[in-house]
Amino acid sequence: MNSLSPHAAAVTPTVSIVMPVRNEEGNVALVVQEIVAALDGRWPFEIICVDDGSVDGTDAKLRELMQRYANLRDIRQHPSGGKAAALRAGVRAARAPMIAILDGDGQNDPAYLVPMLSALLAGEGRVGLVAAQRLRRRDTLSKKLQSRIGNHVRRAILRDDTLDTNCGLKAFPRDLFLALPFFDGLHRFLPALVHREGYEIAYVDVVDRPRHSGVSNYGLFDRLWVGIADLMGVWWLIRRKQASPEVTEVKADGR
């Protein structure tokens, strides 16, 4: 499919790329261009940018990009509801059964979308999540330390065997994501929650990149105490999970 064609949006997409953005005026155009370069000709796809209450020129930049890319959609969330809410809004709006998500700051290289989506397809229904694990991270020392401590504590409590749950690159079936319990911070616990539903997790190693422009919208103390509460909540959900009984409908003739 030619993503630059004015008829591209009329094609039912196989893949929906959901990208939350907040004050990413300087990054969003480049990331959208890279997504198109990575996926064009592989699957019919759409790109859904969820503008999470931006106060810069992100909205104007998205409107400009939609004139060029017929399969680009702009979902606005106002006021800002956070990344988890933005992801849920984007996945709900998606027209494809297969979803991939990434951050809008340019640190997630869209070239990795291809092996991640291919791994999800190869799972043939057994794999419920493909998660990226970052190598050679380009974050500041404080962010690396924060992530390392958080990952260690989470793995010790949830036993999800995931080295890097905070990487924004992930792929999963749309219906599975929408069936998960929703809470602010959901995206940081997807491996544990998907495993709770009985699915396998696949991993793809990726190389991290520096942010193209701007500054991060998140800080250490923005997430610390909320993250601890979320961790305990997910632990409780896992402990309370019961085996799902087989459900069948019985016909009048007993069959």
Domain boundaries, the chain: 8-239
HSE, CB side, 13 Å, CA atoms: give it for residue 166.
Answer: 20
Torsional sign, CA 103, 104, 108, 112 = positive
| Angle separating helix axes 28-39 and 58-66, nearest 10 degrees | 30
Handedness of CA 153, 154, 157, 163 (dihedral sign): negative
Q: Please answer whether residues 114 and 185 qualify as being in contact, where contact means their C-beta atoms are separated by less than 8 angstroms.
A: no
Pairing mode of beta strands 45-52, 15-21: parallel
Per DSSP bridges, beta strands 98-101 and 45-52 are: unpaired
Phi/psi for 225 (5° steps) reads: -75, -35
Contacts of 9 (CB under 8 A, 6+ apart): 46, 70, 71
Q: What is the pLDDT along the chain (255 residues), one digit of tens a residue?
A: 444 444 455 678 999 999 999 999 999 999 999 999 999 999 999 999 999 999 999 999 999 999 999 999 999 998 999 999 999 999 999 999 999 999 999 999 999 999 999 999 999 999 999 999 988 665 555 555 555 656 656 566 666 667 677 889 999 999 999 999 998 888 888 998 998 899 999 999 999 888 777 666 554 445 554 566 677 777 677 777 767 678 888 888 866
Strands (E), 28-126: 45-52, 72-77, 98-101
Residue 95 token pair: 């027209």
Distance CA 209, CA 215 (A): 14
Note whether 20 and 52 are within 8 A (CB): yes
Q: Is the peptide bond preceding residue 20 cis, with omega within 30 degrees of 0?
A: no
Class of domain 8-239: alpha beta
